[in-house]
A and B are shown apart, each in its own frame.
Chain A
């Protein structure tokens, strides 16, 4: 069933038990994502190391399972990466969801969100946390 592709076990797991959930105190950078069509809100906190790497990352928010899982998986993946690498991963992930021929290289368990391809109305849900991350990194 298509629904099982969308809500894979790992997605439901991360939605119910999001990793790195919570806030980081200032001076951590903060980026907010808001989806006006459903009211979903995600805030991503990033503490940078002196060499511009993601030293710590946490997030808060209330959102659907797709959004929560995508953001949770994101935090596990970008931790330790340089800002440039993190933003590159964001682009790879969005390409993976929107382009037929995109490579899956480097995506790891983010590929579990591939079910979103068949539910284009959920694309915003899957990318909300990533846009919030980009805002935090640009801060």
Chain B
């Protein structure tokens, strides 16, 4: 493992200094060596689902931004848990409950270590990124937002990091402002960030670490530093970065960070919200019921301290156990190595796609992660994705839950190829070949 640093490797001056450099993490000359030696085929063998044919062709799974696949160790752990250890967590005296409680709380420690949380009390299990953001918008937002307050987000946010803020600002009388994206590369106008803080009372800024539509890596550390100077709370949507790069919440300097298990080799239905202990301490619960109380009378109830205060009801125990194994698996491969390879695939795909006639690729040329969203001539994304599927290629076509962004870019839908460390360069060759055939097929 390399040092744990900001995923974007954008450390330092890149975004306020030279915007054209983007915020890519690559160290010139070094990243590509690491990437070309990365044993993707070896890791690929750990994923049973990838070994199959679809429509008579070997499966080429390029929909990792929507959900990644599971190594056998994660599948086995979930099965083992249900076969050997399952019982409800907490309060149980019997053996199985003791085991499941230990497994669940050990998973919390594993997540805490994975994101550098410092204490597992800062780690709340959720259903996923969406719930993590809703929890903050609802609990933190209701308590801290009012007329005169501003919530700042970017125009590239996923609906999950947009609608909760629309709702809570409307409810509380606060204002929702957007940092605009600009130009063909759709970069955020980061120099405007400081001005927004000067002009408005920004109480919270929420932003995506890696855009699921554009593929760009945002300078999370620098944004958090600016926000901190103005006393604003920060929320990092790490859905696309947590499984793809080293993440350290102390290094990032964020207040909240949230991600989903199923985008980093873990199960669906389990996610993580990190919150700074001092913020969680006086935060009201998000849902109410069992597991989250300390004392209940017919008239009133008192809450447990965090993180259990935010986990009403029986949690997804198997999900947490599976997630812990997934994160351990990623650590073994090395997140710095995964990141280099991920960026390598993104760069390679960008270069190869650029050579296709009539292509429009969204997002920056440099400073991008391993996903490429594009429009190919006049071929509609759904037709293109249906065509690719006929040759075993799994891509996504649509607005990628970023309708306002797509509208601003003058698009309805794009096709998106998103990579993970088990994808190979030859799969990109295959993608390019099939897209070339699609151009002829549709006469675009």
Inter-subunit contact A39/B399 (CB<8 Å): yes
In the complex, the answer to whether B413 meets A38 with C-beta atoms within 8 Å is yes
User: Closest residue of chain B to A68, judged by CB?
Assistant: B380
Whether B250 is near chain A, meaning CB under 8 Å from some CB there, is: no
- Which residue in B398, B406, B441 is a CB contact (below 8 Å) of A7? B441
B178 interfacial contact with A, CB 8 Å: no
Give the contact stretch, choosing among A58-66, A89-97, A103-111, A130-138: A58-66
Known: A1-B390, A16-B443. A66 touches B383 (CB 8 A): yes
Kindly list chain B residues whose C-beta atoms are within 8 Å of the C-beta of A63: 380
Q: Is B382 an interface residue (CB 8 A)?
A: yes
A125 CB to nearest chain B CB (Å) = 7
Q: Please, which residues of chain B bring their CB within 8 A of the CB of A37?
A: 398
**Residues of chain B with a CB closer than 8 A to A16's CB:** 378, 443
- Whether A64 lies near B383 (C-beta < 8 A) is yes
A55 proximity list for chain B (CB < 8 A): none
**Complex contacts, A2 vs chain B, CB 8 Å:** 55, 390
7 A-B interface contacts by CB (under 8 A): A7-B383, A38-B412, A40-B412, A64-B382, A64-B383, A65-B380, A66-B382
Q: How many A-B residue pairs have CB under 8 A?
A: 49
The reply to whether the CB of A41 lies closer than 8 angstroms to some CB of chain B is yes
Closest to A2 in B: B390
For the complex, give the distance between the alpha carbons of A39 and B386 in Å: 16
**B406 A12 Cβ-Cβ under 8 A:** no
Identify which of residues 381-406 in chain B touch chain A, using a CB-to-CB cut-off of 8 Å.
381-383, 386-387, 390, 397-399, 403, 406
**Counting CB contacts under 8 A, is B230 at the interface?**
no
Interface residues of A (CB under 8 A from B): 1-3, 6-7, 12, 16, 37-41, 62-66, 119, 122, 125
- Do B397 and A3 touch (CB < 8 A)? no
CB contacts (< 8 Å) of B443 on chain A: these are 12, 16
- Whether B383 lies near A62 (C-beta < 8 A) is no
Query: Which 4 pairs from chain A and chain B are nearest by CB?
Result: A64-B380, A39-B412, A64-B382, A3-B390
Contacts of B382 in A (CB 8 A): 38, 40, 64, 66, 122, 125
Q: Report if B442 contacts A (CB, 8 A).
A: yes
**B381: chain A residues within 8 A (beta carbon):** 38, 64
A12 interface neighbour in B398, B412, B413, B442, Cβ under 8 Å: B442
Beyond A39-B412, A40-B413, A66-B382, 13 extra complex contacts between A and B, CB < 8 Å:
A3-B387, A3-B441, A7-B383, A7-B442, A38-B381, A38-B382, A38-B397, A38-B399, A62-B412, A65-B379, A65-B442, A119-B386, A122-B382
Nearest Cβ on chain B to A119's Cβ, whole angstroms: 7
A39 with B398: in contact, given A16-B443, A62-B412 (CB under 8 Å)?
A: yes
In the bound assembly, the distance between CA atoms of A43 and B403 in angstroms comes to 19
Residue pair A41, B412 in contact (C-beta under 8 Å): yes
Q: Give the residues in chain B near A1, CB-CB below 8 Å.
A: 390
B 412-444 binary contact with A (CB < 8 Å = 1; else 0): 110000000000000000000000000001110
The distance from the CB of B184 to the nearest CB of chain A, in whole angstroms, is 20
- A119: nearest chain-B partner, CB-CB: B386
Residues of A within 8 A of B387 (CB): 3
Q: Enumerate chain B residues within 8 angstroms of A40, measured Cβ to Cβ.
A: 382, 412-413
Which residues of A sit under 8 angstroms from B413, Cβ to Cβ? 38-40
